[in-house]
Amino acid sequence: MSSGCLRTLENVSTEPSRIDLLELDIDLRLADLWREAAEVTEWNLDVVAAFIRAAYGKGYCDALTEDSPGRLCLDHGYRIPDRGLSGRWAVARDPAR
């Protein structure tokens, strides 16, 4: 093995990256969908589209019901996106809820 290869191998981290950890967290949240996907024997565009819609819907519902909105972003070192709602598009929330 040349010294160039050794240098490259030395720089490879054994620690998961921030993206790896985010992917794992999302995969855990989608565990039911992953189990269901494992049972699919014939994949086609309709089946893939159904899973994409289901994953989007699951994420949407999770975001609406999480105890601390934005926690997923914060836990993985990402900023919480600005919702950009103002004026007539802003939704007034009942502070008692």
Considering the entire predicted model, what is its pTM? 0.64
**Beta-carbon contacts of residue 47 (< 8 Å; ≥ 6 apart):** 40
Q: Is residue 39 part of a domain?
A: yes
User: Residue 5: how many CA atoms within 13 Å on its side-chain side?
Assistant: 2
Enclosing domain of residue 49? 15-78
Question: Using one digit for the tens of pLDDT, what is the confidence trace for 48-89?
Answer: 999 999 999 999 999 889 898 888 989 999 988 887 766 555
Question: Using one digit for the tens of pLDDT, what is the confidence trace for 9-38?
Answer: 566 778 999 999 999 999 999 999 999 999
Domains held by the chain: number: 1
Q: Is residue 24 part of a domain?
A: yes
Q: Is residue 90 part of a domain?
A: no
